[in-house]
Structure 1
Amino acid sequence: MKRNKRSTSDVISNLPSNVTKNILKDLPLREAVRTSILSSKWRYKWKKLPQLVFDDTFFLKVRDNEKLKAVIYQVLLFHQGPLMKFELWYPPFGSCLDINNWIFILLTKNIQEFSFYLEAGFPYHEIPRHLYSLLQLRELNLSYCILKPPPTFKGFSRLVNLDFCHVNISSKMCGLFISNCPLLEQLSLRHCADFDSLEINAPNLKYFDFFGIFVSVSLENTPLLAEISVTLISWGTTRDKEPEEADSEWVKFFPSLPAIEKMNLHGAFLESFAAYNVPERLPCTLNQLKVLILYDVCYSNLDHVSWALCLLRSSPNLRKLRSTLREVEILHFSGAEPEIHFVKMLLAHSKVLERMKILHEYGISDEKGFAISKELIRFPRTSPKAEVIVDVTPDG
């Protein structure tokens, strides 16, 4: 039995360094630290971990907040060498000054990815000034924070990914922050402070995701932007502006997307434009657009349908609408004139369409449903394979 134990211990102790690194990297932080008891050769291996992730698995078994803080201090102080990634997820003690001290310790670690996610319900945590000294950052993820960069901050020159969720920052400062990250490729702004006007200058930006409130967005320099997702939970005062001012909002927006391949737009975003002056086509052609996803578009609303049609006419190489243009499904179809026109346009311009399924609005009479179905089926279609299926008797 002693030989077997010694043999097992020797195997564990003499594993190749690349194997031990992979084992430690894939373990939760708490378990990685506990490997120090395996043998004398494993005692200090965790101290050179390239990443420290303090997430819910780390906080799960310890309920004493002061003890948790002490453990985090110990891990950071004992860590040796460069630290590529640091994450702090939902600390049970919420916002506290210790967080600023932990960030200060990271200044010597050459950290490239920093993520801080405070739990909802706690006061927002104001990010300390020394975070802005982590100039080698390539990824920054913040949640439930207050961001007030000092006047001396000139940006993160190496930052590639930026994700703000519930971050309190002014629209002017946000735009300035983004423009000072020249290598930025991915940008996500979700549930941040209300933006009256957001200006984005990001020459290398390829992906942009926005969820929240703004009156207008200006993409000043985004020649590589290939994918965009905009969801408005409300919109500003575009409808209260003069027609010339309101029109300028979309005039500035779409021409700034020469490389756009995928657009995911919420119905409120379309309605935020000057709906009473919708053009036949955009002032530019979206030649690269392949996928268009329209969420919460009311097809009985002339404003929504007009903009949807405008986008379709301006996207000659579109391949997918919602799921795909080979297969389109329209729900809650009431037979309103804008809806009829929308279906007619799809059939007339979708060269690869194979199947269109239309489900009538619940409660529509059989007589009216039959009349609508008869009209839709007679529409000419560009695709010889296009099949139109109309459900006259939908269930509830």
Structure 2
Amino acid sequence: MEKRMAQESDRISLLPGHILDEILWRLPIKEAGRTSVLSTKWRYRWRSLPHLWFDNRCTWSNGHGQTSQNLVKIIDRVLMLHSGPIQSFILAHTEFSNIRDIDHWMLHLSKVPVKGIYLCVCTLEKYKMPTFFFNCQHLIRLKLYGCSIKIPISFEGFKNLQSLYLQHVELSPYELEVLISRCPLLTHLVLKYLPGITRLNLEAARNLMELDVRGAFQDVFGVTNRLRSVTIDIIENRQASGNANSGNFHKFFRNVHNIQILKIENYSLKYLAQGIPWTLPHALVHLKHLSACVDFTSVKQIATVICLIKSSPQLKKIEFQAQDPKNQPTARTTVAEFWKLPCHSCCLEQVQVVSMRNIFGIEPELEFMKFLLTSSPNLQKMVIQPSAGIAEGKLLRELLQSRRVSAQAQIALYTHKRQNYKIPIYFFNCQDLTILKLCGCSVKMPPSFEGFKKLYTSYLHRVEVSPCGPEVLVCRCPPLKCLTLKDLKGITRVNLEAARKLESLDIGGAFLDVAFVVVNRLK
């Protein structure tokens, strides 16, 4: 009986081993060691943890020197008592400064089949990777931050390495090329802000599938057709911009036949858009997601974006972030003339979702959004997030009055203001609306409002409206089938008797009474 009660009181120890490991993995390693007092089953469990993670949770901050000394003691003890394989060793304590102690940890790891190493060194002095580090032949994942690499002559490569991440790492262009070429299984490569490296040769990375490049690169070449995901964030180099290669666009996309995700950040589009590209060497038949930071006052960049969209028959989602026009040369007249040219006219049948962030409300941005609305027959949603301080009302009025070729296209406007956005009177002239979704808005229906005669779905969340507002909306929208009312401020009673065709009803909030006619359509 006592044994049974003891088992019931310690149910956690009866969990399968892999569940116990998962619990320990989610604890700071110092707390994981303390679980040894729970029971005999827990006593040595922490010593066989496959993932050793040393970050700011290991020690309390009480001065840089003391924090580093405490962390050294913890890591030394863990490695000394550890039994079993080490899947990954992670050092990411932002206040650690005793970088000389890393050497003997690397020596220990070079003698065991460790599969993942992540070193984040946040001191002014770069940590020099020791020669014996290159003996870690079982490495699959390597992530280095704030380190310095000098590849020994005897280095034959990491034959099992699949993921390589280097950020603020010092090494020569030749050593970077050697490192990449001697990792034949490399599929995931991230290179961020490598000082002194401006050219990137990827010809030897035959199996590369994911590429993330950020920094002062002037040339990226040798990409292979295995690439699935590419992120480019090139820092603008004004000294080198005059010597930029006018064939960057064609050269980069020459071999990326199978790319599925493309992210072009900050000034990278300026790098790619040297010369005005009207076509690609081949179609990007697998591209499904495009994200780009665009200067909408630049004809070259607009033409480049349109070229990418036209060349991607499977592209369903596109995201754009506008650059601040104050930081760009004024060329709006040239952009206005560009939209008059027939060469950009096209049908973007594949595009379904468009996101426009950091919009400043200038004419070139509006023209580009109007172009998408009039060229995308299957567009379902356009999400617009203006930059702080921009007049959303004018922006919304322009877009609501523009022509659309997609009957189901929704325009969602996200504002930075905490107060509710007041829906303007001219909004109620949108007689072709079939779907209406409002969140964080204030609605005052004008006396002349006769209803949305085609509306079949309405969603109101945190909307300020008069007590009779929902009833008026339902009464004057006869086709309404789906209705959602959530957290309507000040409304406790709602009458839905006029909703004769209602099939779906979702109500949430401080409602005390809901009156409606029960019809057999309601599901």
Question: In which range does the TM-score fall when normalised by the shorter chain?
Answer: 0.7 to 0.9
Alpha-carbon deviation of 1:65?
3.6
Q: Which residues of 2 match residues 311-330 of structure 1 at below 5 A?
A: 311-322=308-319, 325-329=352-356
Tell me the distance in 2 between the aligned counterparts of 1:268 and 1:140: 28
Q: Which moved more, 1:232-241 or 1:132-141?
A: 232-241
**Equivalent position to 1:332, from 340, 354, 360:** 360
Alignment partner, residue 189 of structure 2: 187
The one-letter amino acid of 2:271's match is S
Alpha-carbon deviation of 1:42?
4.1
Alpha-carbon deviation of 1:318?
1.6
What CA deviation, in whole Å up to 9, does each residue of 1:57-98 have, x standing for no partner? 112277354343233222212212221111111263425221
**Equivalent position to 1:222, from 177, 199, 224:** 224
Q: Which moved more, 1:31-40 or 1:309-318?
A: 31-40
Give the secondary structure class of the aligned counterpart of 1:142: strand
The one-letter amino acid of 1:291's match is H
Tell me the distance in 1 between the aligned counterparts of 2:148 and 2:75: 23
Normalised TM-score (structure 1): 0.81
Tell me the distance in 2 between the aligned counterparts of 1:358 and 1:40: 58
Identity rate of aligned residues, in percent? 27
Alpha-carbon deviation of 1:14?
7.0
Tell me the distance in 2 between the aligned counterparts of 1:163 and 1:15: 39
Contact 2:140/2:161 (8 A) holds in 1: yes
Q: Which runs of 5+ in 1 are unaligned?
A: none
What CA deviation, in whole Å up to 9, does each residue of 1:38-61 have, x standing for no partner? 455644332222121111111227
In structure 2, do the counterparts of structure 1 residues 95 and 339 end up closer, same or farther at CA, with 3 Å as the change threshold? farther
2:376 aligned with 1:350: yes
What CA deviation, in whole Å up to 9, does each residue of 1:205-252 have, x standing for no partner? 22211221110101x2522211111112323655423xxx71333222
Q: Which residues of 2 match residues 57-96 of structure 1 at below 5 A?
A: 57-60=57-60, 63=66, 65-90=68-93, 92-96=95-99
Q: Which residues of 2 match residues 2-21 of structure 1 at below 5 A?
A: 7=6, 11=10, 15=14, 18=17, 20-21=20-21
Alignment partner, residue 158 of structure 1: 160
Contact 1:28/1:57 (8 A) holds in 2: yes
Tell me the distance in 1 between the aligned counterparts of 2:39 and 2:89: 27
Alpha-carbon deviation of 1:16?
6.5
The one-letter amino acid of 1:231's match is D
Alpha-carbon deviation of 1:10?
9.8
Alignment partner, residue 286 of structure 1: 284
Of the two, which has the highest radius of gyration? 2
Alignment partner, residue 504 of structure 2: none
Q: Which moved more, 1:46-55 or 1:36-45?
A: 36-45
**Equivalent position to 1:117, from 107, 115, 120:** 120
Tell me the distance in 2 between the aligned counterparts of 1:230 and 1:355: 26
Tell me the distance in 1 between the aligned counterparts of 2:238 and 2:200: 12
Alpha-carbon deviation of 1:99?
0.4
Contact 1:332/1:359 (8 A) holds in 2: no
Q: Which has the higher helix share?
A: 1
Give the secondary structure class of the aligned counterpart of 1:47: helix
Aligned residues: 376
Q: Which moved more, 1:342-351 or 1:279-288?
A: 342-351
Contact 1:235/1:272 (8 A) holds in 2: no
What CA deviation, in whole Å up to 9, does each residue of 1:168-223 have, x standing for no partner? 123332233122222222221222224221011322222211221110101x2522
The one-letter amino acid of 1:334's match is I
Alpha-carbon deviation of 1:308?
1.6
Contact 1:85/1:114 (8 A) holds in 2: yes
Contact 1:280/1:313 (8 A) holds in 2: no
**Equivalent position to 2:406, from 368, 375, 383:** 383
Alpha-carbon deviation of 1:360?
9.1
What CA deviation, in whole Å up to 9, does each residue of 1:111-156 have, x standing for no partner? 101111112x431111111111101111111111111111221221
Normalised TM-score (structure 2): 0.63
In structure 2, do the counterparts of structure 1 residues 67 and 319 end up closer, same or farther at CA, with 3 Å as the change threshold? closer
The one-letter amino acid of 2:118's match is S
In structure 2, do the counterparts of structure 1 residues 319 and 17 end up closer, same or farther at CA, with 3 Å as the change threshold? closer
Tell me the distance in 2 between the aligned counterparts of 1:110 and 1:279: 50
2:55 aligned with 1:55: yes
Alignment partner, residue 270 of structure 1: 269
